Structure 1
């Protein structure tokens, strides 16, 4: 009996070349690896505060507070708390670093900088 394919969520900006490249890599990997992918254009469908908190937890911000800054683009306001990140992204979702891929079931998230970093999320499937 085969295991069910895991679903990952890819937060994507189609205007970003790094995001497009990462999406292509994941699509190519999905041919040989058992996962399905939900692609979310986060500028049209911004992350909720709960999603932001969960993703930052998956990225282990409590042990590495630099994650709060890495989760946002370099030109974003400085964030020192999860609430700061939530407020910044509520005001302007474009300030999120992209691409971002999340495996909700495994409680893992990866920021795709460089683009091939997104493959870490499916490396153990």
Structure 2
């Protein structure tokens, strides 16, 4: 089964994670999530595959848009998922998926768990 990476080519950790996967000779499908943004329901599935308890764990809480939208005080999970869908910069990266499991590539070596 091949891997899928939700990738941002401008992010050094994302580039390092992709390079590590490719070095291992593993087939990988690359999704540039800033261009091809996952739906709120796809994001909910990723949260579950990552083993997170909340969508907030998948969010980049230091982004300006997080503060602008006052997401720190948001308690509704669907609202958090919708915010990530509408503002993909909020999605932590990279996310590597294999079947029903996923990891964040922070550090990039986390992806080795799925290889």
TM-score range, shorter chain: 0.7 to 0.9
Which of 74, 79, 82 pairs up with 2:61?
A: 74
Change in Cα spacing, 1:81 to 1:26, as seen in structure 2 (3 Å) is farther
Query: Is residue 59–residue 110 contact of structure 1 (8 Å, CA) maintained in 2?
Result: yes
| Number of corresponding residues | 107
Match of 2:38 in 1: 47
- Residues 80 and 8 of structure 1, relative CA distance in 2, 3 Å threshold: farther
After TM superposition, where is structure 1 displaced by more than 4 Å over at least 4 residues in a row? Answer: none
1: CA distance, partners of 2:111 / 2:77: 23
Gap regions ≥5 residues in structure 2: none
Deviation of 1:118 after TM superposition, in Å, equals: 1.6
Q: 1:68 Cα shift?
A: 2.7
Are residues 1:59 and 2:50 paired? yes
In the alignment, is residue 11 of structure 1 matched against residue 11 of structure 2?
Answer: no
CA RMSD of aligned residues (A): 1.7
Kindly provide the CA deviation profile for residues 37-61 of structure 1, in whole angstroms up to 9, marking residues without a partner as x: 1101000000112211111111223
The structure whose residues are more often helix, as a share, is 2
Whether contact under 8 Å (1:68, 1:81) holds in the other structure is: no
Superposed CA offset, 1:50-109 (max 9, x none): 211111111223xxx3x5322111223335443133111122101100011111x3x001
CA–CA distance in structure 2, aligned partners of residues 20 and 81 of structure 1: 32
Q: 1:121 corresponds to which residue? A: 114
SS, match of residue 73 in structure 1: coil
